[in-house]
Amino acid sequence: MISLEGLTTLLQAWLHDTLGEPWAFAAQSVLVGIAAITLFAVLGLALVYMERKVAALMQIRLGPNRVGPKGIFQTSADTLKLVMKEGLTPNGADKFLFNLAPFMVMIAAMLVLAPIAFARNFQIWDLSIGVLYVAAISSVAVIGILMAGWSSNNKYSLLGAMRSAAQIVSYELSAGLSILAIVILTGSLRISDIINSQADGWWIIKGHIPVLIAFIVFLIAVTAETNRAPFDLAEAESELTAGFHTEYSGMKFALFFLAEYINIFIGCAIGATLFFGGWMPFHISGWDSFNHVMDFIPSSLWFFGKTMFLIFLIMWFRWTFPRLRIDQLLNLEWKYLLPISMVNLLIVTFMAIMGWHL
């Protein structure tokens, strides 16, 4: 059976044989870089298309259906349009920061792709602090958003950026605490350890109610961190026209747009990894033949299936709920989610000490 794991092992062996140790590493780095950029573009396009189709499903209409079969090339055509548009820089804008901001956001989004396990043994970099790395790097994006808002010389952008900063900094806390719940249960920050710990059942199932609570808090926090409705206050089109990217056009706008979708993907991939076992097939301890059948489904399918399911949930939120107000948004975090996830963390710790999760 062809698997992504076999493919990478073959490639690695071939590179080592032909180039020798240092050059093989350099070639691998270049290949991984190209793959990451390609993935960034392809995922962005696919998710935008998915978003439009999900929106259409919710809104009793068809969605894109003209460019290509079922409209699958619509987003590529849109991107082409954006590439050809002029990238305007408004008068009075801080040119350096204004042009740097979209790249900050994009680079932050791409860096977080590193520790994500897309399939069995198919991972760019299995850090020992994988989860911490994700939590740390994903909050760098807010610097890009603040830069964009500040340098645009536009009051709508400034308001949007300020909202975004307040929001991401707040929701980072409960996202971190709910990630910690799984880290405590697993005893490791390494992504591959976390996945392997779920070989006899996903945490969402064997972690009882505390993990379910942690998952719900995590889902809300991810929705907020990626500035998605009902927490899309940073761009709130009916209030701030387009928030922090009001003044951006052309490809610079597209980078913000794609980065938003990559961030959703990453948030959901982390969620799938922590709570649904990543690429780990659905296993029930004791049912060996059932587990064996499940193993026949490729691990990449498991990973993308779970991630897409979570992404669908987040899109579902967007097309159903109205937007919160800024004070309600912060109240939700500081008065409800944060206390809940703190108490929940205590319970999870207690559970881990007592060994109830095994």
- Asked if 324 interacts with another protein (CB under 8 A), we say yes
- DSSP of 234-255, one letter per residue? TT-HHHHTTGGGTT--HHHHHH
- Asked if 320 interacts with another protein (CB under 8 A), we say yes
What is the distance between the terminal CA atoms of the chain, rounded to a whole angstrom?
33
β-bridge mates for residue 119, sequence order: 122
- Asked if 172 interacts with another protein (CB under 8 A), we say no
Q: Which stretch binds another protein (CB under 8 A): 31-39, 153-161, 251-259, 295-303?
A: 153-161
Q: Nearest approach, Cβ of 327 to another protein (angstroms)?
A: 7
Q: Nearest approach, Cβ of 256 to another protein (angstroms)?
A: 18
Residues 6+ apart with CB under 8 A from 264: 47, 222, 226, 228, 311, 314
Cα 62 vs. chain centroid, distance in angstroms? Answer: 27
Give the tokens for residue 222: 């991810």
Buried b (16+ CB within 10 A) or exposed e, 246-279: bbbbebbbbbbbbbbbbbbbbbbbbbbbbbbbbb
Q: Nearest approach, Cβ of 330 to another protein (angstroms)?
A: 11
Selected from 44, 230, 271, 281, the binder of another protein by CB under 8 A is 230
> Which residue lies nearer to another protein by CB, 21 or 327?
327
Q: Which stretch binds another protein (CB under 8 A): 97-105, 138-146, 155-163, 305-313?
A: 155-163
- Asked if 328 interacts with another protein (CB under 8 A), we say yes
> Which residue lies nearer to another protein by CB, 149 or 277?
149
> Which residue lies nearer to another protein by CB, 219 or 236?
236
Query: Side-chain half-sphere of 291: how many Cα atoms within 13 Å?
Result: 12
- Asked if 239 interacts with another protein (CB under 8 A), we say yes
Q: For 298-328, what is the HEC assignment?
A: CHHHHHHHHHHHHHHHHHHHHCCCCCCCHHH
Q: Nearest approach, Cβ of 236 to another protein (angstroms)?
A: 7
Q: Nearest approach, Cβ of 241 to another protein (angstroms)?
A: 6
Q: Nearest approach, Cβ of 28 to another protein (angstroms)?
A: 44
- Asked if 238 interacts with another protein (CB under 8 A), we say yes
- Asked if 236 interacts with another protein (CB under 8 A), we say yes
- Asked if 287 interacts with another protein (CB under 8 A), we say no
- Asked if 159 interacts with another protein (CB under 8 A), we say yes
Q: Which stretch binds another protein (CB under 8 A): 31-39, 230-238, 261-269, 292-300?
A: 230-238
> Which residue lies nearer to another protein by CB, 195 or 236?
236
- DSSP of 49-96, one letter per residue? HHHHHHHHHHTTS--S-SSSGGGTTHHHHHHHHHHHS-----TT--HH
**Contacts with another protein in 38-77 (CB under 8 A)?**
55, 58-61
d(Cα 164, Cα 86) in Å, to the nearest integer? 27
d(Cα 105, Cα 102) in Å, to the nearest integer? 5
Phi-psi region of 20 (alpha: psi -120 to 50; beta: other; left: phi over 0): left
- Asked if 91 interacts with another protein (CB under 8 A), we say no
Give the tokens for residue 328: 């309600």
d(Cα 229, Cα 247) in Å, to the nearest integer? 21
Selected from 156, 203, 248, 279, the binder of another protein by CB under 8 A is 156
- Asked if 9 interacts with another protein (CB under 8 A), we say no
Q: Nearest approach, Cβ of 136 to another protein (angstroms)?
A: 29
Selected from 45, 229, 266, 351, the binder of another protein by CB under 8 A is 229
User: How many chain residues bind another protein (CB under 8 A)?
Assistant: 29
- Asked if 241 interacts with another protein (CB under 8 A), we say yes
β-bridge mates for residue 123, sequence order: 117
Residue numbers at the binding site for another protein (CB under 8 A):
55, 58-61, 155-156, 159, 163, 229-230, 232-233, 236-241, 319-328
